[in-house]
Amino acid sequence: MPSVVDSKEWKEMWEVSNPKYKPVSASTLQDTQIPQEAERVRALQIEFLKTKRNLTITYDGGANRRRESYYTIHVTTPAEPATAADGDDGRRPFLIEAAAGTGFSHTGQWIAKQMLQIIRRIGEGRFSAVSSDSTGNTKMCRRLLSATIPTILDLPDPVHHTNLPIKNICALEFFEDVIANLRRTLTFFAHSDQAVNVLLEVRIEMDIGRGLESIGTTRFGTVTISAVSMRRCLPALREVCTTGRVVVEEVNYLFVRNTPATLTFETQLNQFIDVTLPFVKALTCLESTHSTIADVFIFWCAIGASLKKVLSNPASGIPTSVRGEIRAIFNTRWRELFEEGTTADVHLSAVYLDPDWRDAAVFRDPNPLATAAATASGKVGKSSKSESNRADGAPEPAVTHPVIARRVAARLMVILKGEVTHGSDPLLRTDDPARQADIINRFQLQFRAYARNDYPYNSIPWEDSQSVLQWWTTLRSVRAADILATLAIKLYAVVPNSMADERTASAFTWLNSVSRNRQQLSTMVSQTQIRQYFRARAKARPHADPKPSVKFCEIDSRLRDDTSTMNKSTKRQTSAQFKANGASAEGDGDVDDGSMHPWLDEKPDHCGSAVLFDIERYIDLDRPELLGFLSSDPVDSEQGVELEPSLNTPLRKARGDVSPDNVLNVS
């Protein structure tokens, strides 16, 4: 707030603390000093980024209160092999620019032009990924960038994408009534202070900590969070409505105790929560700056496992036709994220390059009658016992999941060719055709050895404290693994989401408040860049876990507390902790107060119906370890539920015997 420096109190403060210092005027600070410092910060950012590889560029659109449209552009540094003691893995987002869009048509080509200007200032070969939401123009921009610069992976933002199935489910006719009743109830409490205070009194008596949470227009999974808050407050709502202390307009009958209507509403509420909560839990985890491409795939597998468990349970009461619609929604969004276009098998490749997932039982065994096998270059051959390439003539180990291995090999070959022709890594980049052929041949041999868990991959020790990235970084110094290790490092170093832009948008909203609605875009950007740069340098988390959590039960969130089945009586809340916010938005000022038309009123395309989950062709959704990723409580190992494999906790177990006929022919 530059204007504060003209205040009498500001000047008096400096006279007392340092009489020799004469503070400048607000106009000098705003028009000269802040822009100059912001320009210096931008120059420092660019020079720093020029020293890095495997950078990720992200972007998102917005507008300030002056109706000046813009696209924020961030560049995030890669994860480093060595995690600092304060939990910092090296990823650091930089707001490079907010490209002014007023007066321009925001086509994919226009956005790509703004992005390319920044990419070329830093160096094309230094970028490894681009991420954004998947609106028409932003999706087109990603495709243009990855086509122009082959080293760049096209990564749809998983948080935005994980929110899309929730919108699809909300649009199903089966859930229209429960969502409409939820919104009517929230609207009533948003406009009645008296009802809020009555509900608060009863909540305190019943030890219900938080009240209703309104449906926001911008928060991810907001309607599910509101439904969970409704379920949490249902006993209190029934008490106040049954006794007549509160009469909720239009829907009061839903909260009269011991009536068919209230039981039906509770059933509908539970059904809606059961089928949408897995998505909300997953996106809560995937918002992290520490998440990896592999995390995205694993959490979506966990969503599929959770949905299958719900939909296969006759006690859920969900009709067969609705179950088919939900499966089709999942299948459609899965294909968009993991199997279509330039994104196909990128996430699967990252998972496969974690040695503990390579042979995991989560992957379904291939059809034993299948005879086709493919080379890493995509050529098809006969599946049989391969001739040994070992000097001692000993038989080579078998590939546990050859179908998965072939898919991964084909995708990694595409990534490798991009690095060879357009990258900046001296190990891979070359214009010499002979050396290019040698690199490709070495990759085939290295991938073949990895798929079989052969030397050198079975000889490099893996410490308990090591991450996948650290393990591959060690292997990069081994000539028999250096090519594959370089590709693995790339996949685990990039950031799979565009949450940096979401956080900057929140900073813009804070700076560009109603009282400062005349603030220019350039002022917002300069202040945010300075604030972001120096906050990152001063960041310190002395008590942070050096290894970030990936399971939902390890995340400190209110949603976890609301959905946990553990005994909550150990920490009884005092009356001061009970908020009188009958329908608060909990951090989002845009609430559905009945006068707005939020995204719930939109009707996305119907996805059809499906009998099965498509991913069960190669993923076993019945594996208990998948459910552990989205559980609100730590899984009790005594119940026979396996927590492993985990992306952050490597398995230490012997590999099971497999048929020697299951081999990957990459010779």
Q: What is the pLDDT of residue 599?
A: 56
Task: Report the candidate in 157, 111, 154 with the shortest Cα–Cα distance to residue 134.
Answer: 157
Which of the four pLDDT bands, split at 50, 70 and 90, describes residue 393?
low
Q: How far is CA 354 from the centre of its chain?
A: 19
Q: Helix (H, G, I), strand (E, B), or coil: what is residue 559?
A: helix
Question: Is pLDDT larger for residue 631 or for residue 294?
Answer: 294
pLDDT of residue 595 exceeding 50, the answer is no
E strands of 351-469, at which residues? 372-374, 380-382
Which tens digit of pLDDT belongs to each residue from 453-481? 999 999 988 777 788 999 999 999 999 99
Q: What is the pLDDT of residue 586?
A: 41
Residues 150-171: what's their mean pLDDT?
Answer: 94
Which of the four pLDDT bands, split at 50, 70 and 90, describes residue 257?
very high
Question: Is pLDDT larger for residue 500 or for residue 537?
Answer: 500
Q: 619: which DSSP letter?
A: B
Which of the four pLDDT bands, split at 50, 70 and 90, describes residue 312?
very high
Work out the angle at residue 57's Cα, subtended by the Cα atoms of residues 55 and 61, and round it to the nearest 5 degrees.
Answer: 165
pLDDT of residue 335 exceeding 90, the answer is yes
pLDDT of residue 641 exceeding 90, the answer is no
pLDDT of residue 617 exceeding 50, the answer is yes
Which of the four pLDDT bands, split at 50, 70 and 90, describes residue 7?
confident
Task: Report the candidate in 87, 97, 105, 110 with the shortest Cα–Cα distance to residue 57.
Answer: 97
Q: What is the pLDDT of residue 636?
A: 54
Which of the four pLDDT bands, split at 50, 70 and 90, describes residue 153?
very high
Q: What is the pLDDT of residue 150?
A: 94
Lowest model confidence (mean pLDDT) among 67-81, 471-485, 572-586, 629-643: 572-586
Q: What is the pLDDT of residue 515?
A: 65
Q: What is the pLDDT of residue 545?
A: 40
pLDDT of residue 569 exceeding 60, the answer is no
Q: What is the pLDDT of residue 505?
A: 84
Question: Which amino acid would we find at residue 110?
Answer: W
pLDDT of residue 544 exceeding 60, the answer is no
DSSP per position, 528-596: HHHHHHHHHHH---TT--SS---SGGGS--HHHHHH--S--TTSPPPGGG----TEE-SS-S-B--SS-
Q: How far apart are CA 406 and CA 415, in angstroms?
A: 14
pLDDT of residue 548 exceeding 50, the answer is no
Q: What is the pLDDT of residue 392?
A: 56
pLDDT of residue 379 exceeding 70, the answer is no
Question: Is pLDDT larger for residue 421 or for residue 506?
Answer: 421
Residues 643-650: what's their mean pLDDT?
Answer: 38
Which tens digit of pLDDT belongs to each residue from 425-464? 999 999 999 999 999 999 999 999 999 999 999 998 877 7
Q: Helix (H, G, I), strand (E, B), or coil: what is residue 64?
A: coil
Q: Output the average pLDDT for the chain.
A: 82
pLDDT of residue 571 exceeding 60, the answer is no
Question: Is pLDDT larger for residue 62 or for residue 664?
Answer: 62
Percent of the chain with pLDDT over 90: 56
Q: Helix (H, G, I), strand (E, B), or coil: what is residue 212?
A: strand
Q: Which CATH number is 2-156+496-538 given?
A: 3.30.420
What CA–CA distances, in Å, run from 185 to 178, 223, 434, 580, 584? 11, 13, 70, 16, 13
Q: What is the pLDDT of residue 584?
A: 47
Which of the four pLDDT bands, split at 50, 70 and 90, describes residue 220?
confident
pLDDT of residue 659 exceeding 50, the answer is no
pLDDT of residue 578 exceeding 60, the answer is no
Which of the four pLDDT bands, split at 50, 70 and 90, describes residue 412?
very high
Residues 351-373: what's their mean pLDDT?
Answer: 74
Buried b (16+ CB within 10 A) or exposed e, 572-589: eeeeeebeebbbbbbebe
pLDDT of residue 3 exceeding 80, the answer is no
Q: How far apart are CA 434 and CA 637, in angstroms?
A: 54
Task: Indicate the domain borders of the chain.
Answer: 2-156+496-538, 166-288+292-342+554-566+580-601, 353-493
Q: What is the pLDDT of residue 598?
A: 52
pTM here?
Answer: 0.84
Q: What is the pLDDT of residue 289?
A: 81
Question: Is pLDDT larger for residue 444 or for residue 103?
Answer: 444
Q: What is the pLDDT of residue 606?
A: 80
Which of the four pLDDT bands, split at 50, 70 and 90, describes residue 25?
confident
Task: Report the candidate in 352, 354, 369 with the shortest Cα–Cα distance to residue 470.
Answer: 354
Q: Helix (H, G, I), strand (E, B), or coil: what is residue 496?
A: coil
Lowest model confidence (mean pLDDT) among 84-88, 129-133, 152-156, 256-260: 84-88
Q: What is the pLDDT of residue 24?
A: 80
Q: What is the pLDDT of residue 10?
A: 77
Question: Is pLDDT larger for residue 329 or for residue 9?
Answer: 329
Question: Is pLDDT larger for residue 304 or for residue 135?
Answer: 304
pLDDT of residue 277 exceeding 60, the answer is yes
For 392, counting Cβ atoms within 10 Å of its Cβ (0-12 exposed, 13-18 middle, 19+ buried), the class is exposed
Lowest model confidence (mean pLDDT) among 313-317, 478-482, 555-559: 555-559
Which of the four pLDDT bands, split at 50, 70 and 90, describes residue 521?
confident
pLDDT of residue 359 exceeding 70, the answer is yes
pLDDT of residue 326 exceeding 90, the answer is yes
Contact 584, 214 (CB under 8 A): yes
Highest mean pLDDT out of 11-25, 400-414, 591-605, 621-635: 400-414
For 654, counting Cβ atoms within 10 Å of its Cβ (0-12 exposed, 13-18 middle, 19+ buried), the class is exposed
